[in-house]
Structure 1
Amino acid sequence: MPRKPPVIHATRLVDASRFLRVEQVDLEFSNGERRTYERLKGSGLGAVIIVPVRDAETVLLVREYGVGVNRYELGLPKGRLDHDETIEQGADRELKEEVGYGARELRVIGRLSLSPAYMTHETYVVLAQDLYPERLPGDEPEELEVVPWKFAELHKLLGREDVTEGRSIAALFMAREYLAGRFRPA
């Protein structure tokens, strides 16, 4: 069910952020060419994106507001890792907060970068199987809608206007190929 996006009351530029900072990097390439690049340096330990597999044919997606694009997006649950938390623990926590399920089996199947040309941030892709109901309070301002989707219908997500988040698209196809035995992490 479509929701009306939140009302934006103001926007402003900030010099400092609790999440990101800009770092200049002076480089010299093997041919002697020198350049200064700028990159966004994340704070924290990284992030996880979870592929919650309800059964052999079904993955659970969430519909969540994305302020960057000012609309609701359909994608996978994801979040930042907390201090003193393993990748698997962070994935299980985010799954419980955003989807209302825990997982008895969690497996890291890869890593994704957002934009390696100017960001240091990486996200771990975690396959979550053998789900069971359990909810933890999260930090989302509203409850997320959980949407079951068939793996056989992943191609239909590509044409949807509310599915544009590249990490979700990549992680879904990585998981599908992993489950089919065609992909194994290095």
Structure 2
Amino acid sequence: MAEHTNKQLDEITLSTESIYKGKIISVQVDTVKLPNGDESKREVVRHSGAVAVLAIHNDRMIVVEQFRQPLGRTQVEIPAGKLDPGEKPEDAINRELKEETGYTAKSMKLLFSFYTSPGFADEIIHLYLADELTAGDAELDEDEFLEVTEITLEEAFAQIREGRMSDAKTIMAVQAWQLLKLGAQPGQ
């Protein structure tokens, strides 16, 4: 990610209070000194990061549909998963694609990395493009229930309009796919 550029806007952390430590996230409240010398509180969600994959097979994007508890409904998304502590994104991406879809890729290319919500969280997602896919059997986690399908670009845009596909990583992947089809190189 980009180097730090504007020291005049830095906030200095004076103290940190741990509020919650879970399997996926931790939450803390930081007391910070603002650039003008005043103090303020910042609620921060810590996350180990994640990988996501734009996997195209026969000009169709591989997606998974699964129930998302925070939304109270199913959601159509690209395959993705969290990084284990200390795990490199390039190691995790192949694992996640195989686990969720059964597909393996001859090559993976990092398109770009992005923060999901930097106003309160440090979660970063590394979005990859999978190439030369081979079908196989999925290896879902015990608590993972999903359906794998392949959709066209037009179907993806229809699902975005319908609200079936509404998470940022998937919408970004669809936009990247569209750029790729137009001959552009997203993320470069």
Asked whether the equivalents of residues 99 and 144 of structure 1 are also in contact (C-alpha less than 8 Å), the reply is no
SS at match of 2:174: helix
2:118 is aligned with 1:113: no
1:38 to 22, 39, 43: 43
Residue 32 of structure 1 and its aligned partner are, at CA, apart by: 4.1
Q: Distance in 1 between matches of 2:44 and 2:73?
A: 26
Change (3 A) 1:28 1:181: farther
Cα deviation, 1:8-53, whole Å, max 9, x if unaligned, reads xxxxxx94422222222333444445422111112x3x21011111
Provide the residue aligned with 2:26 in structure 1: 21
Name the Cα RMSD after superposition: 2.3
Asked whether the equivalents of residues 102 and 139 of structure 2 are also in contact (C-alpha less than 8 Å), the reply is no
Question: What is the percent sequence identity of the aligned residues?
Answer: 23
Asked whether the equivalents of residues 127 and 175 of structure 1 are also in contact (C-alpha less than 8 Å), the reply is no
Provide the residue aligned with 2:69 in structure 1: 67
User: Letter of the aligned partner of 2:72 in structure 1?
Assistant: N
SS at match of 2:161: coil
2:153 is aligned with 1:148: no
2:47 is aligned with 1:53: no
Residue 84 of structure 1 and its aligned partner are, at CA, apart by: 5.9
Q: Distance in 1 between matches of 2:148 and 2:141?
A: 16
Give the TM-score, by structure 1 length: 0.79
User: Letter of the aligned partner of 1:164 in structure 2?
Assistant: S
Q: Distance in 2 between matches of 1:102 and 1:140?
A: 21
Asked whether the equivalents of residues 58 and 148 of structure 1 are also in contact (C-alpha less than 8 Å), the reply is yes
Q: Distance in 2 between matches of 1:172 and 1:140?
A: 29
Asked whether the equivalents of residues 20 and 28 of structure 2 are also in contact (C-alpha less than 8 Å), the reply is no
Q: What stretches of structure 2 of length at least 5 have no aligned partner?
A: 1-18
Change (3 A) 1:156 1:72: same
Give the TM-score, by structure 2 length: 0.78
1:92 to 91, 94, 104: 94
Residue 173 of structure 1 and its aligned partner are, at CA, apart by: 1.0
2:164 is aligned with 1:134: no
User: Letter of the aligned partner of 2:170 in structure 1?
Assistant: S
Tell me the number of residue pairs that the alignment of Structure 1 and Structure 2 aligns: 170
